[in-house]
Amino acid sequence: MRAFFEAIEDLFVNGLFWPYDFFRFMENWWTSNTVNWIFLLIGSVAMVYWLLQLKKFILAITIEKIQ
């Protein structure tokens, strides 16, 4: 059972997280945080889309109640 968990550790530490090690040891702050900026941009776009859809939904319900 221990080997199973060590294999999972090896997969994540040495395999899937190697790009983060590359970014961690960079000298420039802006390029080392590009992943964070990308996630922030995606989250901002998703929030704007969600709010626009919510506005349409509320407007449709309001018009339905009036009629």
Per-residue pLDDT tens for 21-30? 888 888 888 8
- Is 38 in the same domain as 28? no
Co-location of 16 and 26 in the same domain: yes
Query: What's the rounded mean pLDDT across residues 26-49?
Result: 92
What does the pLDDT read at residue 11? 94
State both tokens at 34.
């590009």
Half-sphere exposure in the Cβ direction for 40 (13 Å, CA): 5
Domain residue limits at 9: 1-32
- Do 44 and 28 share a structural domain? no
pTM value > 0.75 = no
How high is the pLDDT of residue 64?
A: 82
| pLDDT reading at 67 higher than 80 | no
pLDDT at 65 > cutoff 90: no
**Is the predicted pLDDT of residue 42 greater than 90, yes or no?**
yes
Same domain, 37 and 57: yes
- Number of domains the chain is built from: 2
